[in-house]
Amino acid sequence: MGAAKKRYLPIIFYSLIALLVLLWTYSSLSKLMDFKLFKSQLEGQSLGAFTASLAWAVPMCESIVCLLLLSKATRTMGLWLSIILLISFTAYISLTLMDYFEKRPCSCGGVLSGMSWNTHLLFNLFFIAVNGLALWLVKKIVPVQPNLLE
């Protein structure tokens, strides 16, 4: 790999990480700040006994992923958990678009709640690509980073 490419890989990588951190921070905080609305939207999906658990688990998982992405020691784990969440949410959106559920409540908060289901699907696919590229780059970036202790 050329020296010029090696120089830009960290910039690209950390930009992707920043996008994911912003996504998960915004997503978790918007759910927690309007928790009653988020929980009522989940209740509209007829999840039964799982509703209360999911109402807390989803924003907590998003927050944990965000924190994992911020630390070099846990970043790879954070990227894997992030892509698992993104794929799970994308599967839910896909099932919704295929009319699998009786109701179509969107439990996303803030600006995301104004998106159509099709737009939300594209949004998630974009972030899956961002996450996938970051996972690919994380293996290439480690040897490129200078050792700060030297």
Residue 80 lies in a domain: yes
Residue 148 lies in a domain: no
Residue 50 lies in a domain: yes
Residue 20 lies in a domain: yes
Residue 41 lies in a domain: yes
Residue 146 lies in a domain: no
Q: What per-residue confidence (pLDDT) applies to 107?
A: 63
> What is the total count of domains within the chain?
1
Residue 149 lies in a domain: no
Residue 55 has pLDDT above 80, yes or no: yes
The boundaries of the domain holding residue 33 are 3-141
90 or 149, which is more confident: 90
Residue 104, C-beta contacts closer than 8 angstroms, at least 6 positions apart: 96, 117
pLDDT tens column, 91-121: 989 998 998 877 766 666 667 777 888 999 9
Long-range contacts, stretch 7-11, CB < 8 angstroms, 24+ apart: 9/137, 9/140, 9/141, 9/144, 10/141, 10/144, 10/145
Residue 36 lies in a domain: yes
123 or 108, which is more confident: 123
